[in-house]
Amino acid sequence: MTTYYYLLASEKFLLEEEPLDEVLKERHRDYQEKGKAIDFWLVRQPAFLETPEFAAAKAKCPQPSVAIVSTNSQFITWLRLRLEYVLTGEFEAPSSTIPDPLASLAAV
């Protein structure tokens, strides 16, 4: 299993009201220059929110939602400090109840 860290917010807030696209593009460029593998993904309507463990988080977040999922806790902490109106947390996946959050994604 892998530990994933996430930042969760409404799709409207994160994709329309915040300059998130610029932040992710800059991070992607920085990783390319340093030869680092991408360790963050943008997930629309994250499947992990449909599990019982995330019922409270889903209830707090306006729908439709978007998550930034990463294996880098420092990146999620940095985003949380930069953005308002977001929820953060972590989980282990895949597990018996939580699906692989990246199963149907392409990297940002």
Tell me if 55 is assigned to some domain: yes
Is residue 108 included in any domain, yes or no?
A: no
Find out whether 39 and 70 touch, Cβ atoms under 8 Å.
Answer: yes
User: Which residues form the domain of 22?
Assistant: 2-93
Strands (DSSP E) contained in 1-108 are 2-10, 40-44, 65-70, 87-93
Domain containing 50 — which CATH number?
3.30.70.1860
pLDDT for the residue numbered 1: 83
Indicate the pTM of the whole model.
0.85
Counted domains in the chain:
1
Question: Quick check: is 54 in a domain?
Answer: yes
pLDDT band at 103 (very low <50, low <70, confident <90, very high): low
For 67-97, the pLDDT digits (tens) are 999 999 999 999 999 988 999 999 988 777 7
Q: pLDDT by residue (tens digit) across 33-57? A: 999 999 999 999 998 998 899 999 9
- Asked whether residue 67 is domain-assigned, the answer is yes
